Chain A
Amino acid sequence: MRWIKEHKLISILVAILLALVILFVVTTLVDNEDNPASGAVRGGMAAVSETFSSVADVIRENVTGIFSYKALQEEIEQLEAENADLKRQLAETKLDREDLEQLQELSELLNYQYFSKEFDMVTADITSLDGSNWTNIFTINKGTEAGIEAGDAVVNNMGLVGRIQATGEGWSKVISVIDEGTQVSFKLERDRKQLGIVSGNSVGNVSGYMMDAESTVAEGDVIVTSGLGTYPEGLLIGNVKTVAYNSNTLLKEITVEPAVNFKGLEKVAVIK
């Protein structure tokens, strides 16, 4: 006690560091995402951050547009070209649609259910994220009031983003698929019998292996979630970048380029 009184500054520093180390160890070892105290803090910060985000949106929509006139002009030209291309595709698809309707009728008659992309989704805006860090963990403006639960899959128009790590009234915390070591079960889009497992790797991609050593997986193959585990079936994960045979594990190992650009996220959808 006497030493503590004589060395007050060092004692306070040691106490703070000790408390933080204990906090770190406990939160690393124990899953504390349902902790009500953390939830209250996140809820409070999400409410305040939303106001700032709306200011940021005004700046994004008005001020930055002035400085990026040239880029916007190029974007308009690109969109016009895409529009023309889509009109042409739409004309071609009319025939395909008739085929599809016939197939759907046939599948209903045969009571055939293999793959459905009908998801119950909630769209949400990203209200806050820490852009100065390498992690891709962010907060969205929808939570339990929209029926969102921890573990729900998060996607955008490009593909699988991640999952809801914690949620509360008016906010949800999203962790990206590249930010955790959790394994995701997938299948090849061209041959849905070929299954595998991927997880985030050290270079910001995902990597994993095929379950079958005889798999015909090749570079450029598209992989989607298999529906086994956390994520629903059919969500685009990305394209196979490299394939290598590991003679020790007797498995084909792959690295995958995620379909989603995690640094350019603005809106996401949560699959309930």
Chain B
Amino acid sequence: MKYWKAGAAFLAAFLIQTSLLNVINIKGYTPNLTLCLVIVLSFMYEDEMYGVVFGALFGVLYDICYSSAVGAMPIALVVVAVFILIIREYANIENIINLWVVSAVSIVGYYVLNWLLCFISGNPIGIVFALRDLPWTGLYSMVVITIMYLVLIRKVVKHRKDRYFR
């Protein structure tokens, strides 16, 4: 995948997230598409920095538009991307079970870190209230992550030096 394609995917996710998804939500819950993209792209393209670069860029964009302090979302997204890259470095097994485990940990980590940074910046909302929708939002996000993974896995390019393909 080229960087411009990843950038276009993040831009589309941003626009869909803030308009269309609010209409086609399920019981008021919507997945976090930017987080889903960061997780999937970091998990699948461990040699690239899509999650870090676009997570930072679009996180800043989100915070400018929908937060009182800029930085909470991009920091949380970059930490998630780095966490997944480290996991891929030391436990490099790419399968759907691992994806689900890594996604679940990343989603919880992201929301806790995002809340913590928002709290530090002066948002009065407590962690229990902030995370009350997490089970459903997280589950919905996991479904979207799985769909993204199953679509993108078909487009993974075989590595020339990979002995499996010789």
Are B49 and A134 closer than 8 Å at their CB atoms? Answer: no
B139, CB-defined interface residue at 8 Å? no
Are A180 and B68 closer than 8 Å at their CB atoms? Answer: yes
Are A129 and B66 closer than 8 Å at their CB atoms? Answer: yes
B30, CB-defined interface residue at 8 Å? yes
Tell me whether A13 and B23 are in contact in the complex, defined as CB-CB below 8 angstroms, given that A41-B61, A135-B67, A165-B68 are known contacts.
no
A17, CB-defined interface residue at 8 Å? yes
Provide the main secondary structure of the chain A interface: helix
Are A23 and B125 closer than 8 Å at their CB atoms? Answer: no
Count A-B contacts at CB 8 Å: 161
Q: Which residues of the other chain, B, contact A46 by a CB distance below 8 angstroms?
A: 65
Contact with A along B65-96 (1 / 0, CB 8 A): 11111111011001100100000000000000
Residues A234-260 near B (CB distance < 8 A): none
CB closest residue in chain B, given A128: B18
Are A24 and B70 closer than 8 Å at their CB atoms? Answer: yes
State in angstroms the CA–CA spacing of A219 and B93 once bound together.
58
Are A56 and B78 closer than 8 Å at their CB atoms? Answer: no
Question: Which one of A78-86, A92-100, A199-207, A223-231 contacts B?
Answer: A199-207
B121, CB-defined interface residue at 8 Å? yes
Are A173 and B65 closer than 8 Å at their CB atoms? Answer: yes
Are A59 and B124 closer than 8 Å at their CB atoms? Answer: no
Tell me whether A12 and B68 are in contact in the complex, defined as CB-CB below 8 angstroms, given that A21-B75, A52-B16, A132-B137 are known contacts.
no
B38, CB-defined interface residue at 8 Å? no
User: Could you say which of B49, B52, B69 contacts A28, with CB atoms under 8 Å apart?
Assistant: B69
How many A residues touch the partner, as a band? 35 or more
State in angstroms the CA–CA spacing of A48 and B61 once bound together.
13
Are B22 and A179 closer than 8 Å at their CB atoms? Answer: no
Q: Which residues of the other chain, B, contact A130 by a CB distance below 8 angstroms?
A: 17-18, 62, 65-66
Are A132 and B30 closer than 8 Å at their CB atoms? Answer: yes
Question: Which one of B2-10, B97-105, B127-135, B149-157 contacts A?
Answer: B127-135
**Shortest distance between the CB of B129 and any CB in chain A (Å):** 5
Are A132 and B56 closer than 8 Å at their CB atoms? Answer: no
User: Could you say which of B72, B115, B124, B125 contacts A24, with CB atoms under 8 Å apart?
Assistant: B72
State in angstroms the CA–CA spacing of A17 and B102 once bound together.
21
Residues B109-130 near A (CB distance < 8 A): 114-115, 117-118, 120-126, 128-130
**Shortest distance between the CB of B93 and any CB in chain A (Å):** 21
**Shortest distance between the CB of A188 and any CB in chain B (Å):** 23
Tell me whether A203 and B20 are in contact in the complex, defined as CB-CB below 8 angstroms, given that A165-B68, A180-B68 are known contacts.
no
A5, CB-defined interface residue at 8 Å? no
Are A134 and B133 closer than 8 Å at their CB atoms? Answer: yes
Are A129 and B52 closer than 8 Å at their CB atoms? Answer: no
Give the residue among A175, A180, A202 with the most B Cβ atoms within 10 A.
A202
**Shortest distance between the CB of B56 and any CB in chain A (Å):** 5
Are B126 and A139 closer than 8 Å at their CB atoms? Answer: no
Are A24 and B64 closer than 8 Å at their CB atoms? Answer: no
**Shortest distance between the CB of B51 and any CB in chain A (Å):** 11
Enumerate chain B interface residues (CB-CB to A < 8 A): 14-25, 28, 30-33, 35, 49, 52-53, 56, 59-62, 64-72, 74-75, 78-79, 82, 114-115, 117-118, 120-126, 128-133, 137, 141
Known: A52-B18, A139-B65. 7 other contacts (CB 8 A): A17-B79, A23-B70, A24-B70, A41-B65, A45-B14, A180-B122, A202-B125
Can you give 16 contacting A-B residue pairs, CB < 8 Å?
A: A13-B82, A20-B75, A27-B121, A46-B65, A49-B15, A52-B20, A59-B20, A60-B23, A129-B66, A131-B17, A175-B68, A179-B68, A201-B124, A202-B124, A203-B125, A204-B129
Closest 7 CB pairs of A and B: A24-B71, A202-B126, A52-B19, A128-B18, A132-B32, A131-B30, A28-B121
